[in-house]
């Protein structure tokens, strides 16, 4: 694919990701401000912010209110078992699930998405951003990326409302397991507005890669949950 077709913010994402993985930017180091990044890459501050946002969503950067943006420290990981959709989780809690679709589009994957979903450089992905509710109360803002190849022949409605069930019913694939990472963070102004909380309020950030029975990753989710409205539960055996 010609380089010119890759959105500018993804090019910046990929470059900064390389600086982090190659430790040009060290763990815990404060990165340049959005104004400085915009000057470095000769782009608008909005484009620089968009690139930074994708790295924050991937867990490679973290924002600290009143301080700036830093390279994330490596965190202790605890394995969680089982995988279920947001709809199933909310229904088990005796509440009514619903969603508001914010955006739905096809794009070239970032390096992070390419790695997580084991894609080739010429592949395309579908991105859906939505706010998820329980009994009408906003619970999380979710950004999900899936390979465009698995969505062929599927309607937009079936993908956004019941992806797992649709994929199984259509014989495309069946869900097997998910790898999840959960960390603490702070709500940005945009996320706070969608979730009806205050900017800087604490949130739980989930990153999840979902796999099929054939051990193929088909979904990469980055979600931000309101800490006061949602909790994760893990049962461990001795």
Domains held by the chain: number = 2
Residues 128 and 58 reside in one and the same domain: no
| Alpha carbon separation from 205 to 172, 202, 222, 233 (Å, rounded) | 29, 10, 7, 15
pLDDT(78) > 50:
no
pLDDT tens digit sequence for 5-53: 789 999 999 999 999 999 999 989 999 999 999 999 999 999 999 999 9
Residues 90 and 201 reside in one and the same domain: yes
pLDDT tens digit sequence for 106-125: 999 999 999 999 999 899 99
Q: Is residue 232 part of a domain?
A: no
Encode burial over 166-197: b for 16+ CB neighbours within 10 A, e otherwise: bbeeeebbebeebebebeebbbbeebbebbeb
pLDDT tens digit sequence for 192-220: 999 999 998 989 999 999 999 999 999 99
Residues 67 and 90 reside in one and the same domain: no
pTM above 0.85, yes or no: no
pLDDT at 2: 41
Q: Is residue 76 part of a domain?
A: no
């Amino acid at each position: 694919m010609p380089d010119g077709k890759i959105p500018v913010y993804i090019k910046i994402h990929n470059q900064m990701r390389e600086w982090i993985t190659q430790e040009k930017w060290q763990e815990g180091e404060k990165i340049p401000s959005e104004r400085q990044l915009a000057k470095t890459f000769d782009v608008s501050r909005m484009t620089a912010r968009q690139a930074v946002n994708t790295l924050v969503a991937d867990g490679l950067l973290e924002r600290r209110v009143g301080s700036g943006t830093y390279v994330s420290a490596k965190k202790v990981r605890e394995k969680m078992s089982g995988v279920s959709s947001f709809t199933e989780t909310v229904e088990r809690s005796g509440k009514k699930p619903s969603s508001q679709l914010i955006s739905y589009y096809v794009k070239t994957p970032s390096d992070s998405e390419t790695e997580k979903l084991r894609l080739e450089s010429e592949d395309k992905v579908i991105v859906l951003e939505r706010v998820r509710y329980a009994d009408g109360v906003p619970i999380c803002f979710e950004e999900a990326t899936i390979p465009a190849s698995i969505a062929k022949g599927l309607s937009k409605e079936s993908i956004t409302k019941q992806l797992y069930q649709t994929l199984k019913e259509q014989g495309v694939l069946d869900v097997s397991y998910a790898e999840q990472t959960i960390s603490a963070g702070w709500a940005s102004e945009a996320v706070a507005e969608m979730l009806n909380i205050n900017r800087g309020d604490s949130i739980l950030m989930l990153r999840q890669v979902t796999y099929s029975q054939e051990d193929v990753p088909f979904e990469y989710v980055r979600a931000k949950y309101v800490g006061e409205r949602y909790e994760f539960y893990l049962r461990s055996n001795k």
